[in-house]
Amino acid sequence: KGKNVIFVAGLGDIGLDTSKELLTRELKNLVILDVRENTEGLCALKEICPETKVTFIKYDVTVPLDESKKVLKKIFDKLKTVDILINGAGILDDHKIEATIAVNYTGLVNTTTAIMEFWDKRCGGPGGIICNIGSVTGFNAIYQVPVYSGSKAAVVNFTSSLAKLAGITGVTAYSVNPGITRTTLVQKFNSWLDVEPDVAELLLEHPTQSTKECAENFVKAIEKNKNGGLW
Amino acid sequence: KGKNVIFVAGLGDIGLDTSKELLTRELKNLVILDVRENTEGLCALKEICPETKVTFIKYDVTVPLDESKKVLKKIFDKLKTVDILINGAGILDDHKIEATIAVNYTGLVNTTTAIMEFWDKRCGGPGGIICNIGSVTGFNAIYQVPVYSGSKAAVVNFTSSLAKLAGITGVTAYSVNPGITRTTLVQKFNSWLDVEPDVAELLLEHPTQSTKECAENFVKAIEKNKNGGLW
C-alpha cells in the first residue's frame, strides 16, 4: 500500500498476472519495464486500481549497464523513491545459448547493479528491496534445458549473496522460484541440441500451476518481504 | 595413458599445475587452448614427458559457437579422436559483469556445445568425457563476489544436467570444484560495487590450498571418471 514498484517483465506470462495481483494492494506507482509492448495487457492493468499509476517503459535487459542506469534515473527523477525492484525477465530456449544467459542472468545482474546507485546506503541511499524470479530448475535442473537451468541456478546463488550484503548496502533481496507454470514459455520450447524434442509435452505431464496461482503466491512472498528468502 | 586431452585454460594458475600433473600420466596428446601465450610454461610442459605431444592453440572462450567448432574441427582432423575435454577458463573480478559471465559460464557452455558435434552418439560420434572446473562458490557463495559465485553455480548445475543426458548423447560429465586456491586470481580481486575492498585479504585468512595440491586432486578426479561426479 502506497509503494512504488518497478517490475521488469511485468507484462510477461507470469508477469501480467502478478501485476494484476499487485494492483489489488493499492500501490502508489507500478512502473513496468518490458521488451514487449502489450497494449491490451497494459490497458487492463490500468483499469484495476484507480489509485495506482501504472506506467510502461520499453526496456531490454540485455542493454549495457549504463543504459539501465539511464532508464532508472528517469524513474527516480520522477518518483523520487522506489521501494521494490522485481526482476522477472526470462527466456526458455536452449537453442539460444547467448540470449538465455544474457536475459536470465546477465540482464538481471545489470539491472540490480544499476539500481544500487540509487539505493546503496554507502552513497546515502535509502536502501530497497530486490525480488528476483528464479526457478525450481535452479535447484533441480530440467536437464533437457541445461543452459536455462544453469542460468537460474546463477540467479538463486546471486540473490543469496545480495541478501548477505544487505548489512553493507541496505538493500535486501529474496528470490521467488516458481515450479512448472503453464505459461506460453513452456507450451513449446527447444531442448539443448534437441536432446528431447518432446520436452514441453513431457514437462506438462507433471503437476503444474496456472499463472494466476503462481501470481498469488508470488505476491504473498513479496508481502512477507524476508531478506534471503527462497520461495 | 594413451589418451588425447583438450585442456581449455591449461596454462592458467590451476591449469598449468594440472597440466604438469596430467603429463605424468603418459597421455598421447595434450592440446592446450588458452587465451594466454605463456611460452615459458608451455616449454616446461613439453619437457615433462617425451611420449606426450603437447600442442598449443590460442583460444578465447568468448568467441561465437561457430568459431569454437572451427577450432575443434582442426584438432579432430589432426588427432581423429579426443577422449577428454577440460573446461577451465575462469576470471574473478566482479567489476566486470559481462566478462565474468561470458568466460565462466557462456564460454564453457559454447565449448561444450561445440564438441558435441564430434562426440554425440546420435550423430554417430564415439562419446566423450567433459570435465568442468566449477568452484565451491557454486554451492556456497563468496557473497562479496556474487556475479562470480553465480556463474559458478551455473557451471555446477549445467554439468549435472550434462551427466543426466549421457544416456542420450554418450558424453559423460563431472565437475571439479576447488576451494580457495592460492592462485594469482585470489591475490587481489574486485568485489561487486566494492562492497568489501579487502575481500582478497579476508579470503586468504581461511584455510587454502596450493595450486599443486589442487592439481593433484584434480587429476585424481579425472582418473575416477565418475559421470555426474562433484569433486
User: What ipTM, to 2 d.p.?
Assistant: 0.94
Cα→Cα distances B55→B3, B33, B45, B51, B72, Å:
14, 9, 10, 13, 13
- Site from B87, B101, B116, B157 to mutate, A interface, most A CB atoms within 10 angstroms: B157
pLDDT tens per residue across span B101-143? 999 999 999 999 999 999 999 999 999 999 999 999 989 999 9
- What's the DSSP call for residue B27? -
Q: What distance lies between CA A95 and its chain's CA centroid?
A: 22
Contacts B160 to A, Cβ<8 Å: 141, 143
* Interchain CB contact of A162 with B (< 8 Å): yes
Give alpha helix (H) positions in chain B. 13-22, 39-48, 65-79, 97-101, 107-119, 146-164, 166-169, 184-187, 199-203, 211-224
Cα of A106 to nearest chain B Cα, Å: 7
C-alpha cell at B207: 584455510
CA distance A78 to A188: 40
Contacts B196 to A, Cβ<8 Å: 168
Q: In the prediction, which pLDDT does B13 show? A: 87
* Interchain CB contact of B166 with A (< 8 Å): no
Residue B110, domain member (yes or no): yes
Cα→Cα distances A194→A144, A166, B159, Å:
8, 41, 17
Contacts B103 to A, Cβ<8 Å: none
Q: By percentage, how much of chain B surpasses pLDDT 70? A: 100
Q: How confident is the model at residue A1 (pLDDT cuts 50, 70, 90)?
A: confident
Q: Is B161 exposed, middle or buried (0-12, 13-18, 19+ CB in 10 A)?
A: buried
Cβ pair A8, A87 in contact under 8 A? yes
Reduced 3-state DSSP string for A38-63: CHHHHHHHHHHCCCCEEEEEECCCCC
**Helix/strand/coil percentages in chain B, nearest 5:** 50, 15, 35
Q: Is A218 exposed, middle or buried (0-12, 13-18, 19+ CB in 10 A)?
A: buried
Q: How confident is the model at residue A187 (pLDDT cuts 50, 70, 90)?
A: confident
Give the count of Cβ contacts less than 8 A between chain A and B: 136
Cβ pair A8, A23 in contact under 8 A? no
C-alpha cell at A29: 506507482
The residue range of the domain holding A57 is 4-224
In a 13 Å sphere around the CA of B62, the CA atoms on its Cβ side amount to: 10
Residue A230, domain member (yes or no): no
Residues of A belonging to the active site: 148
Q: At what angle do helices B146-164 and A107-119 cross, to 10 degrees?
A: 160
Instruction: Say yes or no for a CB contact (<8 Å) between A157 and B169.
Output: no
Cα→Cα distances B54→A64, B2, B163, Å:
40, 13, 28
B169 pLDDT more than 90: yes
CA distance B219 to B34: 19
Q: Please give the backbone phi and psi of residue B94, each rounded to the nearest 5 degrees, phi first.
A: -75, 5
Q: What distance lies between CA B186 and its chain's CA centroid?
A: 17
CA distance B131 to B222: 7
Q: How confident is the model at residue A182 (pLDDT cuts 50, 70, 90)?
A: confident
B72 pLDDT more than 90: yes
Residue A229, domain member (yes or no): no
* Interchain CB contact of A150 with B (< 8 Å): yes
CA distance A168 to A170: 6
pTM: 0.95
Active site residue B148: yes
pLDDT tens per residue across span A98-122? 999 999 999 999 999 999 999 999 9
CA distance A121 to A125: 4
Cβ pair B209, B182 in contact under 8 A? yes
Residue B165, domain member (yes or no): yes
Q: Which of B147, B160, B162 sits opposite A109 (nearest CB)?
A: B147
Structural domains of chain B, count: 1
Q: How confident is the model at residue B1 (pLDDT cuts 50, 70, 90)?
A: confident
Residue A104, domain member (yes or no): yes
Instruction: Say yes or no for a CB contact (<8 Å) between A146 and B161.
Output: yes
Cβ pair B201, B191 in contact under 8 A? no
Cα of B167 to nearest chain A Cα, Å: 10
Give the chain B residue whose CA is nearest to the CA of A164.
B143
Contacts A153 to B, Cβ<8 Å: 138, 150, 153-154, 156-158
Q: Is B147 left (phi over 0), alpha (psi -120 to 50) or beta?
A: alpha
- Site from B158, B191, B202 to mutate, A interface, most A CB atoms within 10 angstroms: B158
Give the chain B residue whose CA is nearest to the CA of A151.
B154
pLDDT tens per residue across span B75-94? 999 999 999 999 999 999 99
Can you give the CATH number for the domain in which B100 is found? Answer: 3.40.50.720
Contacts B142 to A, Cβ<8 Å: 161
Residue B17, domain member (yes or no): yes
